[in-house]
Structure 1
Amino acid sequence: MRRGISRWATASTALLLAVGIAGCGGEERPPREVAVDLPSEVPVDVLADQPTEAAPPAVEAMGVAPSTKPSPSATPTAKAKPKPTRTSTAPLAKPKPPTETRVPPPQPKPASSGCQHSYKGTQATVSQVKSALSDAAARTYWPTSAPDIKIPLNLVKATAWQESGWQSNVVACDGGIGLMQVMPATADWMNQRFGQSYDINDYRDNAYLGANYLAWLTKYIGDMYFESDYRLDAALCTSELNSCLLNAVISAYNYGHNAVAREGQPLAVPNPQYVENVRSLMTTCKCLSY
């Protein structure tokens, strides 16, 4: 969720994309070039289907996998706010003050350029990763105050591919962990913020953490610049990268909220290559067919 851009490479159709192992949240920093020794594709023999193991305690504590039908606990108890009526889908030139004052911790300094990633534990199979990402995208992370926030499945899949190539057991040299390359400090903050017990090292919880962070960014930036219009719709984007909430959320996942949304400042997209990579993967990634 925040790191260099060029650590994982994959070819899709006629486009060669640079994707990276990254960690989430943090301050704006220039992208880093790091030597790559990851395979060009996720090895099929490594990810061969295996029997699904029992859910770890952290997952059990959160209940069963999310249902596509709303549960009683997910039903808002307060009257829903009326939908904002806007004449333009462009971001506000002068943002409103943020409604979320509890923000992720500062990002640690980047690791040295010669640092190498490592692996910890057992790699999840393709079917297990697909199921975890699908469950994460199906969750409602703001059931009362913003129940209409939905994280598109293709965005979750593309982000995980960009960040780790769907390698659930990879640990970046800068500390990013797993599918969504979550930084430990960010995971601790989200567990405290939302009263959860996600285990960053479990691939299912890691998927939830990444999707939860995307949802938090959607609300944070959506409230400031888009008058609580939380649509992550590519059709709302123009050729200008800072024209829509989708691009802003993707950018902030990589560079941190404070590099994209700043009080009194126009919306910024400081990492255009990362945004373009993820946007392209949302429609061309072979992972979408898994």
Structure 2
Amino acid sequence: MRISNRSRSIVLAAAFAVIVITVGAAVFLLSGNDPAPRSASAQAGEEPAAVATTTVAPAAATTTVVTSTTATPKTTTTTRKAAPPKAAMPAPTPHPVTIPVPPAPHPPPVPGCAPSFTGENAPRADVKSALLSAAGKDFWAGVANPPLLAIDPPEGSPPPATEQLGARAVITVPPALIQAIAWQESGWQSAIKACDGGVGTMQIMDATARWMNQRFGTSHNYQTLAGNTAIGAEYLEWLIAYFGENNFGHHYDITNADLLTAVIVGYNAGAGAVQFSNGHTVSSSYANNVKALMSSQPWAA
């Protein structure tokens, strides 16, 4: 059967339409079937910036989620919080204190008396080792009623109505301080005995040794080098705690000049002899000598 020209034209047109529809479907499938609209920059014909896979474009431009196989290297910025400022030591505040204190370490000197020796002085290296060992020990650890740290209010806020106390204070003696006091007291002579009864490197009195051993629960023999330096360090730690609690608002920074002066004066003349005036600790010639020794360190020569 022959097909008329008109019928042939209709068949050719239908075949052409099928071809067009097939090609369009193929293009659609190859495009990834992504119905999302293109970003503003893509619609304008610009090349979109490479972004990480499944990265949300900036909200100001579009909320379209753009998928790309080209990843942009990420730059990581680490922001570290600044350490909180160290609590400032308050000015010393003198007020009556009823806490029991050790006996005054040195009675009045005996006129015309010369010191004596109970054996041979230990080598200076041994004295230094004993002083440093005692200085590095926190004798308040495990002791009943230890000194507690103040909890300072945030900067700019008023202090609480009642003093807030926190953890136990960790107190040790700076090496330069104990070495300077030992030099001032005895010249690091471990066997010397002064006319006032002071014994050894730290010039420990018998009453002071008994008081410190009882307070710290120890049994140091102040007649030995190790026991003598340990009692001296306990006494210094007790003084730091005593003045820190009662005159510096439960702050114990021994690098503070006023607390340092109070501790040195107290070691020489007793805690009751320390005075405060105009917001500072009143110094003494003994304290000035010890501070000078801390700087010059003649034992290192």
Counterpart amino acid of residue 122 in structure 2? A
Runs ≥4 residues deviating over 6 A: none
Q: 2:200 aligns with which of 163, 174, 178?
A: 178
* 2:140–2:216 Cα contact (<8 Å) kept: no
In structure 1, what is the Cα distance between the partners aligned to 2:214 and 2:108? Answer: 25
Indicate the residue corresponding to 1:53 in structure 2: none
Indicate the residue corresponding to 1:138 in structure 2: 136
Q: 1:134 to 1:107 in 2, by over 3 A?
A: closer
Deviation at 1:116, TM superposition (A): 0.8
| Equivalence map 1:51-90=2 (5 Å) | 89-90=90-91
Determine if the alignment matches structure 1 residue 187 to structure 2 residue 219. Answer: no
* 1:141–1:147 Cα contact (<8 Å) kept: no
* SS of equivalent to 1:111: coil
Q: 1:261 to 1:273 in 2, by over 3 A?
A: closer
Determine if the alignment matches structure 1 residue 220 to structure 2 residue 242. Answer: yes
Gaps of 5+ in 1: 1-82, 238-243
Deviation at 1:147, TM superposition (A): 3.7
Deviation at 1:245, TM superposition (A): 0.2
Determine if the alignment matches structure 1 residue 199 to structure 2 residue 221. Answer: yes
Indicate the residue corresponding to 2:261 in structure 1: 247
Q: Once the two structures are superposed, what CA deviation does each residue of 1:190-227 show, in whole Å capped at 9, x if it has no partner?
A: 11222211111101110011111000011011111111
Normalized against structure 1, the TM-score is what?
0.61
* 1:96–1:225 Cα contact (<8 Å) kept: no
* SS of equivalent to 2:185: helix
* SS of equivalent to 2:114: coil
Indicate the residue corresponding to 2:294 in structure 1: 282
Q: 1:273 aligns with which of 260, 276, 285?
A: 285
Counterpart amino acid of residue 162 in structure 1? Q
Counterpart amino acid of residue 251 in structure 1? V
In structure 2, what is the Cα distance between the partners aligned to 1:119 and 1:129? Answer: 16
Alpha-carbon RMSD across the aligned residues, in angstroms, is: 2.7
Q: Give the structure, 1 or 2, with the largest relative contact order (CA under 8 Å, sep 6 or more).
A: 1
Q: Once the two structures are superposed, what CA deviation does each residue of 1:136-169 show, in whole Å capped at 9, x if it has no partner?
A: 0010011253442121000010010000000000
In structure 1, what is the Cα distance between the partners aligned to 2:183 and 2:177? Answer: 10
* 2:200–2:223 Cα contact (<8 Å) kept: yes
**Higher mean Cα deviation, 138-147 or 194-203?**
138-147
* 1:218–1:230 Cα contact (<8 Å) kept: yes
| Equivalence map 1:88-127=2 (5 Å) | 89-92=90-93, 94-95=94-95, 97=97, 101-106=99-104, 109-127=107-125
Point out the structure with max Rg over C-alpha.
Answer: 2
Determine if the alignment matches structure 1 residue 210 to structure 2 residue 232. Answer: yes
Q: 1:108 to 1:181 in 2, by over 3 A?
A: closer
* SS of equivalent to 1:143: coil
In structure 1, what is the Cα distance between the partners aligned to 2:134 and 2:104? Answer: 25
Counterpart amino acid of residue 134 in structure 2? A
Q: 1:151 to 1:88 in 2, by over 3 A?
A: closer
In structure 2, what is the Cα distance between the partners aligned to 1:231 and 1:220? Answer: 12
**Higher mean Cα deviation, 137-146 or 196-205?**
137-146
Gaps of 5+ in 2: 1-83, 147-167
Indicate the residue corresponding to 2:54 in structure 1: none
In structure 1, what is the Cα distance between the partners aligned to 2:89 and 2:294? Answer: 25
* SS of equivalent to 1:197: coil
Deviation at 1:108, TM superposition (A): 6.7
In structure 2, what is the Cα distance between the partners aligned to 1:279 and 1:245? Answer: 13
In structure 2, what is the Cα distance between the partners aligned to 1:274 and 1:87? Answer: 27
Q: Once the two structures are superposed, what CA deviation does each residue of 1:209-262 show, in whole Å capped at 9, x if it has no partner?
A: 1111000011011111111111110xx33xxxxxx1001100110010011169
Counterpart amino acid of residue 211 in structure 2? W
In structure 2, what is the Cα distance between the partners aligned to 1:260 and 1:230? Answer: 17
Determine if the alignment matches structure 1 residue 230 to structure 2 residue 252. Answer: yes
* SS of equivalent to 1:282: helix
Deviation at 1:87, TM superposition (A): 5.8
Normalized against structure 2, the TM-score is what?
0.59
